[in-house]
């Protein structure tokens, strides 16, 4: 029911997924697109806690059709699927038809010079000297 509407916004969502590594992203959408897609039925358009971890939807939360269809479309699309594969995203849509995208991927652990030296020492000797 909502996939054609989501497909309309997919190119912009793809760009926002890429930008989300830096900060939360917001997409203002047209409410009439979703109202037409629902066929006049009373539907709750807002959702929150739609999480995609490594491209998989969180199954511990029951999602409404609008959220499920967004997740399915993102998983089916080759470009967005490549973005989703190694990251954690959270999606939320409020009553103003704003899609909020958060990238919750943990930052990679940065090796400092000291930890690099310890790792090298462990590789060569097989033990760690606490005094160094």
Q: Please give the Cα distance from 66 to 77 (Å, whole number).
A: 17
The answer to whether the predicted template modeling score (pTM) of the entire model surpasses 0.75 is yes
> Would you list the domain boundaries of the chain?
3-107
Which residue, among 26, 11, 17, 45, has the nearest Cα to 104 in the 3D structure?
17
Q: What pLDDT digit, counting tens, does each position of 20-46 carry?
A: 988 999 999 999 999 999 887 888 899
Q: State the pairing for strand pair 98-103/88-93.
A: antiparallel
From the CB of residue 130, how many other CB atoms can be counted at a distance below 10 Å?
5
Q: What residue spans of 20-99 are helical by DSSP H?
A: 31-37, 65-76, 78-84
């Amino acid at each position: 029911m909502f996939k054609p509407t989501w497909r309309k916004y997919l190119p912009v969502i793809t760009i926002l997924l890429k930008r989300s590594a830096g900060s939360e992203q917001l997409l203002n959408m047209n409410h009439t697109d979703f109202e037409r897609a629902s066929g006049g039925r009373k539907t709750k358009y807002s959702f929150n806690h739609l999480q995609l971890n490594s491209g998989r939807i969180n199954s511990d939360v029951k999602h409404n059709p609008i959220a499920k269809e967004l997740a399915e479309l993102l998983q089916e699309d080759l470009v967005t699927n490549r973005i989703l594969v190694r990251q954690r995203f959270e999606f939320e849509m409020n009553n103003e038809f704003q899609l909020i995208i958060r990238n919750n991927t943990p930052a990679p652990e940065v090796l400092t010079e000291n930890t690099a030296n310890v790792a090298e020492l462990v590789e060569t000797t097989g033990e760690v000297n606490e005094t160094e």
